[in-house]
Structure 1
Amino acid sequence: MYNNDRKSAEQLALVAAVVTIIISRKLTSDQMGLVGDFLEVLGDMLDAMQSQMEYNKQIREKFKKSCKRKRRTSSND
């Protein structure tokens, strides 16, 4: 599995490099900086959203486990 993950990551890096080269050929230096900054902000926002989704998922799972424990405890009484 590790080899597949590594291969996939390497393929993604290659695709990103090729797309970057293609896009950069049509842009000025200032435009490249602007697009790069925009994509960086976009990436940061996606990371923040993913982190929040993961946090919410963990909270829901803890809540479900807590509810199951309470049901077991109350049914034993």
Structure 2
Amino acid sequence: MWALRMENKRPGLTPYLVHEHGYPVVFRTRQQARDYANKRFAKFKRGSYLREWPHLWRMPKPVKVKVVVDDGT
């Protein structure tokens, strides 16, 4: 499984997985993750002002993740 890791270059902020409605967004293939990132975060590529201070945003990168489902017992 694949997910997207979002990074911000501001000091003190840690990378995190992209999420929607409180849950991480996961994909079966790396290409699906890249396509999603290009659609949802295209503004980070186009808007150079978002890559400069005070924002310092970067495009999210696909990362391999292991999904473990805990049934609570």
Q: TM-score, structure 2 length as denominator?
A: 0.28
Q: TM-score, structure 1 length as denominator?
A: 0.27
Higher helix proportion (structure 1 or 2) = 1
- Greater Rg, structure 1 or structure 2? 1
Higher strand proportion (structure 1 or 2) = 2
